[in-house]
């Protein structure tokens, strides 16, 4: 297993741990004799959140040639990033590998810039306010190999960009492709 693959697996496990823990904790609160609608709703909400995140991760990491309409991709990104306000301005279909690239860039930008809104356009993903990039992630966008979980996601995005003929860069406003 390459370092990048190991980093991606660690990132994925970390990323899914919280929603899985929420579902498990709520399910443990259930009493077999007395069903509780509030606890059932907690379980269902956790399961929906986990399912939406898995769909986003699956598209970003594994669907190299997927094409999607802008509306479908926007819905998938919004549902997969429930804690981020997403202003969807991406126009037209996301074809020729752009759907995974857009999904992955939105996911990484949201994960590294929590509590900030995102604007997704045909040219990139911008975060409200100054965007922060860990040195390891910024280094990958400058051509360095990945050195941690999040920089492995950046390396995956660089590879997705290369497959679509796009170069990805990061700055204080977000991620951009050209």
Which of these, 108, 117, 110, 121, lies nearest to 150 by C-alpha position?
108
Residue 108's pLDDT is: 94
Phi/psi for 120 (5° steps) reads: -105, 120
Residue spans of the domains in the chain: they are 3-177
Residues 6+ apart with CB under 8 A from 178: 123, 166, 167, 169
What's the chain's Rg over C-alpha atoms? 17
Query: What confidence tier does 167 reach under pLDDT thresholds 50, 70, 90?
Result: very high
Length of the chain: 178
- Model confidence at 71: pLDDT above 50: yes
Residue 5's pLDDT is: 63
What tens digit of pLDDT does each residue of 114-159 get?
888 999 999 999 999 888 899 999 999 999 999 888 888 899 899 8
Query: Quick one: fold of 3-177?
Result: Heat Shock Protein 90 (3.30.565)
How far apart are the C-alpha atoms of 124 and 2, rounded to whole Å?
29
Residue 178's pLDDT is: 92
Residue 30's pLDDT is: 65
Query: What confidence tier does 1 reach under pLDDT thresholds 50, 70, 90?
Result: very low
What tens digit of pLDDT does each residue of 6-64 get?
566 666 666 666 767 777 776 666 655 566 777 777 777 877 888 888 888 888 877 66
- Report the pLDDT averaged over residues 165-170: 94
Per the CB < 8 A criterion, the answer to whether 107 and 115 are in contact is no
- Report the pLDDT averaged over residues 60-86: 87
Residue 170's pLDDT is: 95
Residue 136's pLDDT is: 94
């Amino acid at each position: 297993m390459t370092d990048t693959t190991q980093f991606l697996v660690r990132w994925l496990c970390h990323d899914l741990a919280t929603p899985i823990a929420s579902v498990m904790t709520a399910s443990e609160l259930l009493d077999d004799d007395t069903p509780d609608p509030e606890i059932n709703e907690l379980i269902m909400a956790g399961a929906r959140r986990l399912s939406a995140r898995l769909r986003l991760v699956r598209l970003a990491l594994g669907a190299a040639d997927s094409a999607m309409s802008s509306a479908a991709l926007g819905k998938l990104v919004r549902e997969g990033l429930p804690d981020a306000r997403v202003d969807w301005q991406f126009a037209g279909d996301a074809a020729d590998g752009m759907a995974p690239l857009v999904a992955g860039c939105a996911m990484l930008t949201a994960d590294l810039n929590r509590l900030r809104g995102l604007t997704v356009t045909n040219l990139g993903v911008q975060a409200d306010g100054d965007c922060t990039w860990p040195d390891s992630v910024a280094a990958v966008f400058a051509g360095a190999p990945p050195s941690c979980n999040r920089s492995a996601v950046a390396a995956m995005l660089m590879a997705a960009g290369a497959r679509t003929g796009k170069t990805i860069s990061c700055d204080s406003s977000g991620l951009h492709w050209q």
